[in-house]
Chains A and B, each alone.
Chain A
Amino acid sequence: MTTVYVPGDAAAVSMGADEVAASFEAAGVSTVRNGSRGMLWLEPLVEVATSEGRVGFGSVGAGDVSELADVVSRRPQDLLDHPKSIGLVAEHPWLVRQQRVSFARVGLVDPTSVSDYEAHGGWAGLRRALGMSPREVVDEVTESGLRGRGGAGFPAGIKWKTVLETEADQKFVACNFDEGDSGTFADRMIVEGDPFTLVEGMTIAAHAVGASEGYVYVRSEYPHAVAALRRAIDTAYTHGFLGRDILGSGLTFDLHVRVGAGAYICGEESSMLDSLEGRRGEVRAKPPIPAVSGLFGRPTAVNNVLTLCAVPMILADGGAAYAALGTGRSRGTQVFQLAGNIRQGGIVELPFGVTLGELVEDYGGGTLSGRPIRAVQVGGPLAAYLPPEQFGLPMDYEAFAEAGAMVGHGGIVVFDDTVDMARMARFAMEFCAAESCGKCTPCRIGSARGVETIDRIIAGHDVAANLVLLDDLCETLTKGSLCAMGGLTPMPVQSALRHWPEDFDRVSTGSTSEGGVDA
């Protein structure tokens, strides 16, 4: 019986994958709901297993299924000639040019099968780690050069070392899976397509830092990921990869899933900890850092999904193998996410050092609208907008920081030439006002004043004076906010001002009923 793969990934589902899978089942063809290969413009991307490898079919609709099912069961020799065929998926030029480390199994394996996971290299990292002392595991991660993939880029080994060395009756591992930034979906896709990797990474982390309990904080906007993760955790318990005396090592580790409730700020680690404790997700003042006093006041290793998902491979193949990839102090691979107005959006995993232009133009194929690119935002809503003139920038933490931008989590949102950058600057302030936790004044009040000031600029009221005021306000947010929400909101605003000043040079619309400078 031929196996047909129909992604169960939320992006594929949003394009009708569930209906496609149901139609195959109705036609008597059994399906595996795999993860997505990350070629999202081709979703639902159906794959048919053949002796040559898996043959892909792009943008399959439920209406295509009966004919495709017929080819599958009766004329397999015609598969490659089918009008929707994209050939052998593993040889697709978009995938062949990538270096998939974190995403090696995503799309390939059945996310519900623990044996499939094992057959593709799963649990090797955990097995090796359990034979090592916690300190050796921490050293291995330090040697790999792995830095936090959530955006801040803090060295993971150093964070773990702090937790390991802090004495406490109880320690925790917490995974930040509150992937709220627009233009990011890699955390979601790896958990939906290969959830055991996160379970394994967290178990290794628990051994390394001495934690007996772990929490994954998932945003509520990701119901498919929540379901995939809960299923994987249940399966891992059944097979002895979680719980008491894991693989006979003596390690006890319990892993829980907690779901957020629509607050962007809970992606900030201290807000996330408060939310996990059952409270309003308000930012905590630092110090103490969570590695010393985190969840319920105990030492807590807080890591992003992709950071933890890189750990099994680092332990399986050694830190040196991971560190061999990348450039400068940005080691390993980064999972870039091409999003927004882009022809070929999706996942591109490559070592650090690839240029922004290669990603957006070579992989992305330019805009979906076919119009010229005007701006790209790299690293989320709290990061800078860059013009095409900067497409030569290598994707590396330090090179981006020097250019007044940030790589962040590697999410890239493309805009064509119809974008109004003053509007985007206004949106950055509006978003901050909507999502601020309200604890500190610059963020809570400053963002609301920012919206008003940009409104006056857009209306052409006393533009020069309001630009000075906006600049002053941005400085207050940058320097006076408690966390990155208020602290980085000026990034998109000021980068828009720097690169597209013409969009802020508005002629008065003639209305005199409001505006003017109060200060």
Chain B
Amino acid sequence: MASTSATDRQALVHAIATQHAADRGALMPVLHDVMDEFGHIAREDVVAIAAVLNLSVADVHGVVSFYKDFRTTPPPTHVVALCRAEACQSVGAEALYADTRARASELGDDVEVDEVFCLGNCALGPSGTIDGRLHGRLSPERIEALMAGWGS
């Protein structure tokens, strides 16, 4: 992923956008595909997508910045997303979130702990995803076990 050269990346983004160009409301599927490919949407990607879809750069930038999922910087090695919505709060999500952030802060930039509002696992909270995988009934001990070996 990271080894893709700037020219290759530009060609790939162009191909992704072209592939969806005839679809109705193509921008969201294009942005998702670029995210899947590169893990983030770079400034150059925004310009390329706008050109192919015949949108202004401002339009595309506006959409990228509106949605939480679209990141504009490369992701860290590990991403933890913990649910902070009501159902998970009722079983201790706030304390778990604070505890996990504190734990991650010791691991440096390699680990990111995000909040998320609802993963649809509300009867088995606290819920969260760890590197994209959904986990229920999370506890500090469980998270510690799942984060073992990170940042070393």
Residues of chain A whose beta carbon lies under 8 Å from any beta carbon of chain B: 10-11, 13-15, 40-41, 43, 179-185, 188, 220-224, 258-264, 275-281, 296, 337-342, 345-346, 368-369, 377, 381, 411, 413-416, 419, 424, 427, 431, 434-435
Cβ contact within 8 Å between B70 and A261: yes
Cβ contact within 8 Å between B68 and A345: no
Cβ contact within 8 Å between B121 and A261: no
Cβ contact within 8 Å between A340 and B122: yes
**Stretch touching chain A among B8-16, B103-111, B130-138, B144-152:** B130-138
**Closest Cβ–Cβ distance, residue B22 to chain A (whole Å):** 13
Q: Which of B19-61 contact A (CB under 8 A)?
A: 24-29, 31-32, 59
* CB nearest neighbor in A for B134: A14
User: Which residues on the B side are within 8 Å of A220 (C-beta)?
Assistant: 69
* CB nearest neighbor in B for A282: B66
User: Which residues on the A side are within 8 Å of B62 (C-beta)?
Assistant: 279-280
User: Which residues on the B side are within 8 Å of A11 (C-beta)?
Assistant: 120-121, 123-124, 136
- A selection of 10 A-B contacts at a CB cut-off of 8 Å is A10-B120, A183-B86, A184-B120, A258-B29, A264-B117, A339-B122, A339-B123, A339-B125, A413-B90, A427-B86
**Closest Cβ–Cβ distance, residue B138 to chain A (whole Å):** 9
| Secondary structure class of chain B's binding surface, majority of residues | loop
Cβ contact within 8 Å between B90 and A179: no
Partner of B28, one of A258, A296, A419: A258
Partner of A182, one of B67, B69, B88, B137: B88
Tell me whether B79 is interfacial, beta carbon within 8 Å: no
User: Which residues on the B side are within 8 Å of A13 (C-beta)?
Assistant: 134
**Closest Cβ–Cβ distance, residue B119 to chain A (whole Å):** 5
Cβ contact within 8 Å between A261 and B87: no
User: Which residues on the B side are within 8 Å of A414 (C-beta)?
Assistant: 90
How many residue-residue contacts, CB under 8 A, span A and B?
A: 146
Cβ contact within 8 Å between A180 and B118: yes
Complexed CA–CA distance, A259 and B36 (Å): 13
Cβ contact within 8 Å between A381 and B134: no
Residues of chain B whose beta carbon lies under 8 Å from any beta carbon of chain A: 24-29, 31-32, 59, 62-63, 66-70, 83, 85-91, 116-125, 127, 132, 134-137
Q: Which one of B69, B87, B132, B135 has the greatest number of beta carbons of chain A within 10 Å?
A: B87
Cβ contact within 8 Å between B123 and A221: no
User: Which residues on the B side are within 8 Å of A180 (C-beta)?
Assistant: 117-118
User: Which residues on the B side are within 8 Å of A185 (C-beta)?
Assistant: 120-123
**Closest Cβ–Cβ distance, residue B16 to chain A (whole Å):** 14
Cβ contact within 8 Å between B90 and A222: no
Cβ contact within 8 Å between A368 and B121: no
Cβ contact within 8 Å between B127 and A277: no
Cβ contact within 8 Å between B123 and A345: yes
User: Which residues on the A side are within 8 Å of B118 (C-beta)?
Assistant: 180-182, 184, 221
Q: Which one of B24, B25, B122 has the greatest number of beta carbons of chain A within 10 Å?
A: B122
User: Which residues on the A side are within 8 Å of B89 (C-beta)?
Assistant: 424, 427
User: Which residues on the A side are within 8 Å of B83 (C-beta)?
Assistant: 182
Complexed CA–CA distance, A259 and B132 (Å): 16
Cβ contact within 8 Å between A10 and B66: no
* CB nearest neighbor in B for A14: B136
Cβ contact within 8 Å between B117 and A40: no
Cβ contact within 8 Å between A415 and B90: yes
Complexed CA–CA distance, A424 and B85 (Å): 10
| Further pairs besides A339-B123, A340-B87, A416-B90: 14, Cβ < 8 Å | A10-B119, A10-B120, A14-B134, A14-B135, A41-B124, A181-B118, A183-B86, A261-B69, A262-B67, A262-B116, A277-B24, A279-B59, A340-B122, A340-B123
User: Which residues on the B side are within 8 Å of A339 (C-beta)?
Assistant: 87, 122-123, 125
Closest 3 CB pairs of A and B: A345-B123, A278-B27, A182-B85
Q: Which one of B59, B83, B117 has the greatest number of beta carbons of chain A within 10 Å?
A: B117
User: Which residues on the B side are within 8 Å of A281 (C-beta)?
Assistant: 66-67
User: Which residues on the A side are within 8 Å of B69 (C-beta)?
Assistant: 220, 260-262
Given A15-B136, A411-B122; A182-B63 close (CB under 8 Å): no
Given A182-B86, A340-B91, A416-B90; A261-B122 close (CB under 8 Å): no
Given A262-B69, A263-B66; A182-B121 close (CB under 8 Å): no
Complexed CA–CA distance, A97 and B135 (Å): 30
Complexed CA–CA distance, A62 and B46 (Å): 45
User: Which residues on the A side are within 8 Å of B136 (C-beta)?
Assistant: 11, 14-15
Cβ contact within 8 Å between A419 and B90: yes
Complexed CA–CA distance, A342 and B122 (Å): 10
**Closest Cβ–Cβ distance, residue A14 to chain B (whole Å):** 4
Cβ contact within 8 Å between A340 and B70: no
Complexed CA–CA distance, A179 and B117 (Å): 11
Complexed CA–CA distance, A337 and B124 (Å): 12
Complexed CA–CA distance, A290 and B87 (Å): 32
Complexed CA–CA distance, A431 and B70 (Å): 20
